[in-house]
Chains A and B, each alone.
Chain A
């Protein structure tokens, strides 16, 4: 039943794509039929995921597609189900939102039909990846997802910068795809079959297992935007239309996480501690680099994209902890860390989806992405502003919102490092926790900046001053995601029970007694070791606040008078006197100058209108990409010598190759 729901969901996504293709001049079809179908497809996928997690078993079938001797196997199990829920929730909101959002684009130069076609294909690809049960269908779906999203990134292709971003995305996606293909190749060779079932049984030596891990880590890590393969992400995600940015950041990155968990924890099973160390290092670096670059951005959507790098880093820190605990013989704590990582993946999908939709709402009504031009939007757009605040509080890991729960769980599992025998690992894990703590505090600074500059204060430009609230459909879709953020923050135990099914399927054991104390208490290790009651925290916060408001209103004559701001008695504040986004980030930029390649130029301050210019580059270009490109170029210059243009020499090469092959075979 659940599996057929997913297949129907995929069919709906394909139908949406076909309808858009046939829309021709009637572009309204995309808005009125195709985009809602996307949302419906998401809703079905979510229902199917919930269904499979509720029953706890797994379903599989063979599709009459593919090659004659290699039909497509699909399988729906708890791990797929969890990620289908994640995909479905965000997609449902995006479908509702997109219908209103693309109305503006209908009059633009870009083809709405193309947007509809590739959105449908993109969604179908992601859903198919999640239920793939052999390497063949997995790779087909994976490439469908990558290629369709390339066209979505290149949607506004009239700008050269967007085309360049899309090309970079395509390049790194394909390098990653190649690595994934090779890792499946090794597994298939040892397991004698492309099916995941036979790969699970593959007898791998520890060296070959490490080869599979490294390839999978590079492949899925490139898609997830881990440092140093992250450079495409902050360029590609922001240039797509905002609801697509939400899908890319909130869902597609999680599909990469799914693939990684599927290959490393499910197909391979036996893990090694060195992998965990690699994941902690790369995850920690991604988290720190991501948040520092998010903090200094002034383009709202690019800032959110960098923040995705950070959150994926946090997820991989949690997965790295899981691998470390599993490899050192503490499977229960490994399950806890895996659960924390999955919880954070879901949380990130919800709040990043919400924030991208909020950024889209600002773009839609004020036509502005630059923070330096915004200001005072909370009074112009009260609903979007309030919901964006929920997203900001959630992503900053503040109680009682959802980001805090997953961060808390990661800290709790990191604190179990005393159980590990090796002293090196025991001290490495707390350092990872320290990076996580630093990251969390910097995220809060980032979102204080975003919210303070964009929504508070006064408008810094005329078009922002005239911004209007967006349509009800766009508000509702943001509201759904915001409500889910609060729900997952306040009632974590319900979600943990669902995640329990995943760890039961992947690791064959449940989480520790995380919800042993009833729905009120979250107690991952034991009630004595740590407890957090999100419902009571919320109730106390709200009731105390209401109580104080009520008490003050009755006891003290409340006279509130509006007046000019004081500002230490200087001239009455003008919008230009407000702190800018660049100014807000300056102290952090200076303290962490090591991480930035920056170039600051001040022109003569005595000029009547002195200007300030700041250019920030990523050191990864200098340290990683340019040397890599240079090496590729040099290698190509060597290889080009083979191409002499002389037929006899070519025949000679062919003969030589044949001889070598014969020698190897014999």
Chain B
């Protein structure tokens, strides 16, 4: 772990902050195009963040100190989780600090505070959002871990860098287990990022909110941090899907040319994923809450099938 790789890790961490609003802006833009709307420019999320940062921050009378600490905890844990995923370079020292199980743990830490923040002011919608978020995550987390275990057992490692390296070394092999895990992770990503068909990020109908319900009492720079954390989470899942299953293009060296090429390929992959997400959100409708378990059970079964097909078909041979 050279000093240079730590620099690259810092650059990647900052790149996450820069790319996350861009990805969400792109998804919104494509969605607007598909829905025959003009839509906001791709850079609108940056302006939104800037606006929120300058606005006055309000806190309810009944809020406890936890309410004011939660946005920082949520933002930092999500950011740190994202910083352990190789973005443009493989040689990433932060990946050794937290392996992929710890990444899931860090995301869970953020979610824990998010749900508590929702319940803090003592409003009906906040509690509703927290209760639903914990249900969705309770069903999504095992599916996510199963999908991850499939990858980890193939590479004999839970370290993302090792997983990607072994994948690169093997060349492109279409493993059934990977295919199952990939689809399971897509379903999990939709649920965890609060996208259609689980949750509607643009909803204004109170009774269907999940993520928005927990943010309802937040304003100003608190809200900016929470929004950015949610966008980082979307980017994180996008990068997991794009880089872990298809690691080609991620730079194996640290010279500027490799990094630049890595960045270009990453943006291309994310742009494609963004289009897929926008298409999905345009053609699908949001589900009723009690249909969500079926959706996530499907994710869990896919992940379990992936794991079983790995231990039965692929290990012995």
Contact = CB atoms under 8 A, between A and B. Distances in A.
B311 interface: yes
Interface stretch (A80-88, A104-112, A135-143, A415-423): A415-423
A452 B98 contact: no
A324 to B, nearest CB: 14
Interface string A641-660: 00000000000000000000
Interface magnitude class on chain B:
35 or more
A577 B124 contact: yes
B138 A588 contact: yes
Given A452-B119, A456-B120, A531 B57 contact: no
A563 B80 contact: no
B216 interface: yes
A578 B109 contact: no
A578 B124 CA distance: 5
A533 B96 contact: yes
Contacts, number: 273
A445 B116 CA distance: 10
A296 B38 CA distance: 48
Interface stretch (A7-15, A539-547, A628-636): A539-547
Q: Which DSSP category, helix, strand, loop or mixed, fits chain A's interface? A: helix
Contacts of A415: 149, 152-153, 158
A563 B58 contact: yes
B159 A556 contact: no
Given A415-B158, A458-B62, A591-B139, A532 B99 contact: yes
B98 A399 contact: yes
A592 B148 CA distance: 24
The CB with the most chain A CB atoms within 10 A, among B58, B131, B316, is that of: B131
A457 B101 CA distance: 32
Interface in B132-163: 132, 134-135, 137-142, 145-146, 149, 152-153, 156-159, 162
A565 B60 contact: yes
Nearest to A556: B53
Interface stretch (A195-203, A271-279, A579-587): A579-587
A531 B124 contact: no
A295 to B, nearest CB: 9
A433 interface: yes
B311 A427 contact: yes
A573 B124 contact: yes
Contacts of B128: 579
Interface residues of A, number: 84
A568 B125 contact: yes
A397 B142 CA distance: 14
Interface in B280-317: 289-290, 293, 300, 304, 307-308, 311-312, 315-316
Nearest to B119: A452
B260 interface: no
Interface string B207-246: 0000000001100110001000000000000000000000
Interface in B51-109: 53-54, 56-66, 68, 72-73, 75-77, 79-80, 96-99, 101-102, 105-106, 108-109
A540 B97 contact: yes
A561 B57 contact: yes
A568 B221 CA distance: 20
A656 B93 CA distance: 80
Interface string A408-429: 1001100101100001001100
B112 interface: yes
Interface in A581-611: 583-588, 590-591
A430 B131 contact: no
A404 B130 CA distance: 22
A26 interface: no
B105 A404 contact: yes
A379 B64 contact: yes
Contact of B123 (A453, A529, A567): A567
Contacts of A66: none
Contacts of B125: 567-568
A575 interface: yes
Interface stretch (A162-170, A223-231, A348-356, A436-444): A436-444
Given A418-B156, A541-B76, A548-B72, A448 B112 contact: yes
A556 to B, nearest CB: 5
A562 B116 contact: no
A521 B116 contact: no
B274 interface: no
Contact of A562 (B61, B72, B119, B290): B61
Contacts of A590: 290
Contacts of B251: none
Given A396-B112, A448-B119, A544-B80, A529 B97 contact: no
Contacts of B62: 376, 457-458, 565, 573
A565 B162 contact: no
B134 A445 contact: yes
B201 interface: no
A378 interface: yes
Contacts of A583: 127, 131
Contacts of A171: none
- Tell which of B64, B127, B307 has the most Cβ of chain A within 10 Å: B127
B122 A586 contact: no
Contacts of B123: 565-567, 573, 577-578
A471 B122 CA distance: 28
B221 A533 contact: no
Contacts of B121: 457, 565, 567, 573
A456 B158 contact: no
B64 A456 contact: yes
Nearest to A414: B149
Given A379-B64, A528-B162, A563-B61, A579 B311 contact: no
A568 B108 contact: no
A398 interface: yes
A99 to B, nearest CB: 30
Q: Give the residue among A411, A564, A590 with the most B Cβ atoms within 10 A.
A: A411
Contact of B146 (A430, A448, A528, A588): A430
Contacts of A529: 156-159, 162
A404 B141 CA distance: 15
A61 interface: no
5 contacts: A393-B109, A444-B111, A563-B59, A573-B124, A591-B290
Interface of A: 375-376, 378-379, 389, 393, 396-399, 404, 408, 411-412, 415, 417-418, 423, 426-427, 430-431, 433-434, 437-438, 440-442, 444-445, 447-449, 451-453, 455-458, 521, 527-533, 536-537, 540-541, 544-545, 548-549, 552, 556, 558-568, 570, 573, 575, 577-579, 583-588, 590-591
**9 closest A-B pairs by CB:** A579-B127, A457-B122, A452-B119, A445-B134, A565-B60, A437-B142, A441-B141, A567-B123, A441-B138
Interface of B: 53-54, 56-66, 68, 72-73, 75-77, 79-80, 96-99, 101-102, 105-106, 108-109, 111-112, 115-116, 118-128, 130-132, 134-135, 137-142, 145-146, 149, 152-153, 156-159, 162, 206, 216-217, 220-221, 225, 289-290, 293, 300, 304, 307-308, 311-312, 315-316
